[in-house]
Amino acid sequence: MYITTYAIDLVALVYLAVLTASSTSLRPYRKKPFLMGVFITVIIILSEAGTIFTCNEGSSLRSLNIIFNVLGFSLTPILPVVIASILDINLFRKSRLLLVPTVVNTVLVLLSPFYGLIFVVDAYSEYTRGDLFFIFLAAYILNFTVVVLSTLALGREHSYPMLHKVVGLSLIVLIGTSIQLVYPTAYSSWHCATLSLLLYFFVLSEFDSSFDSLTGLYNRGAFERATHYMAENEAFSIIMIDIDNFKEINDANGHNYGDVVIREVACAIKQSFDRSYRCYRFGGDEFAVLGRETDRQKIESQLQIMTENLAALNANIGLLPTVSYGYSVFHGGEALDFQMIFKEADDQMYESKRLYKAKQ
């Protein structure tokens, strides 16, 4: 039974390693720590399997049992550290105190074969928990909490709905760990950890694939996903923005300068809208903003802030174009025809562009 379940875990982890290495959606700097996390999980699972097969097998296998326990207990709190570095490679360099629980646990684990601190393996190769087992547990929980908080912080930073996904993943890990704490021979924790690691890959892949690489704004795919799930009772506003004379600027100054313009305009747009709005690069030099605000006066106020920010940026940089925009509001409580709402904002934007060109 144990051989079968561990074999399934290992096959799943090998599959995850292949997915990670070949992924085009996961950001490149995340791949190395993710693969390291997979490798550590494999070592821990093999170590746990080793403790099962060497336990109560007499003194001849006691040394192997100790080695497997040392590997498992020392690497388990390190795994969340590696997972957290997937999100921020410099997290533990900036906050070295976060590593203290892991270091303390590692020292106690290395001393355990002699003093029985975290675990005890007796002369007959029988395993029991040591008096300081709670320190191992505390180190693991603290590091796991760092992963959860780092993931939520990443979501907040980009206004990305991460909470329910993190809660789901955390519950899987906590349930598996809790079962094994109460019933040590259940060996459920690493089956759940393997599943969570696989799901975490998909969560981060979806997150990374939601953003435009040039501007850092949400991309059109994210826009289409967001609008697909809009409910009829959900009030919202949509703003469409287009850079004026972008083709002429691009032709006159080259594509590199065109990219600079798009990036600077995108930055100004993002800084101009509060957290009740989400900004998207819709395509080329066109942007979309979705918001929960339906008061036209307040929307106009946000657009005025955007116009002023662009003007201030132009005063500093120069050669930065103006933008044309249009918006539409849906108050909810009626049948939603998103394409009609979208077309109204888009038509307003093109009318604004027409008036701008007429003045030139």
Residue 318 has pLDDT above 70, yes or no: no
Q: What is the amino acid identity at position 159?
A: S
323-330/236-243 β-pairing: antiparallel
Residue 41 has pLDDT above 80, yes or no: yes
Return the pLDDT at 69: 94
Residue with tokens 């100004």: 268
Strand stretches in the chain, DSSP E: 119-121, 127-129, 236-243, 277-283, 286-291, 323-330
Return the pLDDT at 144: 92
Return the pLDDT at 70: 96
In the chain, CATH 1.20.1070 covers 2-208
DSSP states of 121-179: E-TT--EEE-TTHHHHHHHHHHHHHHHHHHHHHHHHHTT---HHHHHHHHHHHHHHHHH
Cα angle at 237 between 213 and 229, to 5 degrees?
70
CATH class of 2-208: mainly alpha
Question: Measured in whole angstroms, how far is the alpha carbon of residue 323 from the centre of its chain?
Answer: 32
In the chain, CATH 3.30.70.270 covers 220-359
Q: What is the mean pLDDT of the chain?
A: 89
CATH class of 220-359: alpha beta
Residue with tokens 């850079």: 243
CA distance 230 to 44: 43
The helix/strand/coil state of 292 is coil
CA distance 106 to 255: 53
- Residues 241-282: pLDDT tens digits? 999 888 888 888 888 888 988 999 999 999 999 888 999 999
For residue 245, what are its two tokens? 């004379």
Q: Are 226 and 290 in contact (CB under 8 A)?
A: yes
Residue 159 has pLDDT above 90, yes or no: no
Return the pLDDT at 173: 84
1: confidence class by pLDDT, cuts 50, 70, 90: low
CA distance 292 to 235: 6
Residue 228 has pLDDT above 90, yes or no: no
Return the pLDDT at 242: 94
φ, ψ dihedrals at 324, nearest 5°:
-110, 150
Return the pLDDT at 319: 66
Residue 240 has pLDDT above 70, yes or no: yes
Helix axes 78-87, 100-115, angle to 10 degrees: 160
CA distance 298 to 177: 49
- Residues 174-205: pLDDT tens digits? 888 888 778 877 777 888 888 889 999 999 99
CA distance 203 to 187: 26
For residue 256, what are its two tokens? 């590199």
- Residues 54-84: pLDDT tens digits? 887 677 889 999 999 999 999 999 999 999 8
Residue with tokens 């403790």: 51
